[in-house]
Amino acid sequence: MTTKEQIEALREDLRRHNYKYYVLDTPTISDFDFDTKLKQLQELETKHPEFHDPNSPTLRVGGEVTKHFKTVSHTSRMYSLDNSYSKDDLLDWEKRIKKAVDGNIQYTCELKYDGASISLTYQDGVLKQAVTRGDGFKGDDVTANIKTIKSVPLQLKGDYPQLFDIRGEIILPFKGFHKMNEMRIALGEEPYRNPRNTASGSLKLQDSSEVAKRPLECLLYSIKGDRLGIASQFDNLEKARQWGFKVPNIAKLVNSIDEVLDFVNYWDVHRHDLPYETDGVVIKVNDLQQQEELGYTAKAPRWAMAYKFKAERVFTVLNTITYQVGRTGAITPVANLQAINLAGTVVKRASLHNADQIKKLDIRVGDTVFVEKGGEIIPKIVAVDLTKRPLTAMPTEYISECPECKTQLIRKEGEAQHYCLNASGCKPQIIGRIQHFISRKAMDIDGLGGETVALLVNEGLIQNYADLYELNKTQLMPLERMAEKSAENLINGIENSKNIPFERVLFALGIRYVGETVAKKLAKHYKFIDAIATASLNDLVNVDEIGIKIAESVAEFFSNAANVSLIENLKKHNIQLEISAEKRANQTNKLKGKTIVISGVFNTVSRNELKKIIEDNGGKISSAISSKTNFLVAGDNMGPSKRDKALKLNVLVISEMEFLDKLK
């Protein structure tokens, strides 16, 4: 056997034993024998660097140091999930699904793992890249750290596709977490608070050899890619297992919401027997074609729902109530609590939402309050124990002045919150607007974070987001923790943001009620910022999905002289305040005013490409057929009920090719 053959045989042998130990949990050799083989391979690789393999089992120990984690765009967006807390929630979800898709609906039930989301990219069976969830559109490249996790296969086996992404959760099992804390306590160090945060923090450690010391695991649940030959979510899980991924066998295929609830009720009790944290069940429509037909909202897939286990509830004492000012001037009361441990984290604060909530609870300083985590993420006060109320506790009077600038607060009719209207002179509002402007989904300015924005405002270097484009390195260098390289990165990040497309700039402006989806609608309809600025209220309301509330907010923003001045300043710095000529060239009004439903499997273009074609030509996509539907584009395997409904309502049914010819 040649040296190369010997090295390759050892690598294959170690991969097989690694898979049996960390994925199947059925080791067939002792740790001593495994370590002996690993040492033998390390010696051979050291003597023969010409046979280097970046995915060799010897590199699991880490050693690569990453100072700055590169930001990477996800090939397909990593969505969050809608939450449900009752059978009624699930039944409502099921009704919406049945209106939109044909045929019987099966569901895959899986546990919702409580860890850090990750997306792994494999090419030719080899791990190419590992990216954190980030904001769903972009994440951080943490490949070096992920390679140290033994349950992540570096080389796949079986009939895997040439290129695909697989999503999952990096978790820290209880056993490993407790062992880590025992070691920290023995060294006199503060123990970690909970497994989830520890797992999440591990992904951003700069030294991968430190990550290798942590007993992290990776549980996978979703494969993404083109033409993978997988028909259902349950097949998805089975294929992932065959290729070498760690996929728990807990998932179950069911036929009704009642069966879903049986699964939920079982695991609400037995989750405490699991070796890792879980906070609910994820229910997915099993058929992938049905998933495609259902599509997505702006934030979540319509074909999936997270059923959250009942939140843990504890009681503590309310010490004080303070008030925060948001970027829109909205005032949020905050309960400052006697510190308590809740669902694995120390909680000291909880939102009280608004004056009505305070009045409803009749909450007072000194009260003993019940706190739980909404969706086990955000702490909230749900009740007051009146039997423990101190005799000295006085009714809470909501503030009448801004806690920051002392401006008189107002509360508009129909609004739940109080507002400070001093937009140009109230510092938290100024800082908040700029922080929103630079955020990832908006201008995505590298090298500039929330703390630096606050520093720049407090030092008097900027007063609004247009001022960012006037900054220079000389101004930045004297600032605290601002080295020359940091200053250069910040200036470069600001310069690069001039390439951000118009719809994201429009979102970045911080117009109330104008989120990502509304910004896209407005940008696409008007194409230029000046067209939006001069649009009448009636004109704005006639834009697809723009209601009176949004229209009034947009009109109010552009009627403000300070905002008009801001836009003019942004123009001077060549910010993208119109849709590019290239994009405009690809857009027409051929389908303007047309509502179109698409259903089935398409051959010439993908479903997403078809949706884009419709939107680029001014059409509106709907998931359900109604009397307002203009035509149905029918692909292969379309369910009969959709066709029957279309015929019943006299909706034109056309094929994929007929539709594409229509646009030529």
Q: Just list the catalytic residues.
A: 112
CA torsion through residues 603, 609, 610, 611, sign = positive
Q: Please state, in angstroms and as integers, the Cα–Cα distance from residue 373 to each residue in 141, 472, 621, following that order.
A: 31, 44, 37
307 strand-pairing partners: 84, 281
Q: Which two tokens stand for residue 599?
A: 């259903």
306 strand-pairing partners: 83, 282
Do residues 419 and 328 lie in contact, with contact meaning Cβ atoms separated by under 8 Å? yes
Q: What does the alpha-carbon distance between residue 379 and residue 382 come to, in Å, rounded to a whole number?
A: 10
Q: What does the alpha-carbon distance between residue 335 and residue 357 come to, in Å, rounded to a whole number?
A: 12
Q: What does the alpha-carbon distance between residue 611 and residue 643 come to, in Å, rounded to a whole number?
A: 19
Classify residue 11 by burial, with Cβ atoms within 10 Å: 0-12, 13-18, 19+: buried
Q: How do strand 304-308 and strand 313-325 relate by DSSP bridges?
A: unpaired
Q: What does the alpha-carbon distance between residue 25 and residue 241 come to, in Å, rounded to a whole number?
A: 13
The neighbour count for residue 299, using CB atoms within 10 Å, is 13
Scan for tokens 């303070």, then name that residue.
322
Q: What does the alpha-carbon distance between residue 264 and residue 307 come to, in Å, rounded to a whole number?
A: 8
3-class DSSP assignment, residue 218? strand
3-class DSSP assignment, residue 427? helix
String of b and e for 610-629 (b: at least 16 CB within 10 Å)? bbebbbbbbbbbbbebeeeb
Do residues 437 and 443 lie in contact, with contact meaning Cβ atoms separated by under 8 Å? yes
Q: Which two tokens stand for residue 216?
A: 């992290």
Do residues 576 and 501 lie in contact, with contact meaning Cβ atoms separated by under 8 Å? yes
Scan for tokens 């896209």, then name that residue.
520
Classify residue 197 by burial, with Cβ atoms within 10 Å: 0-12, 13-18, 19+: middle
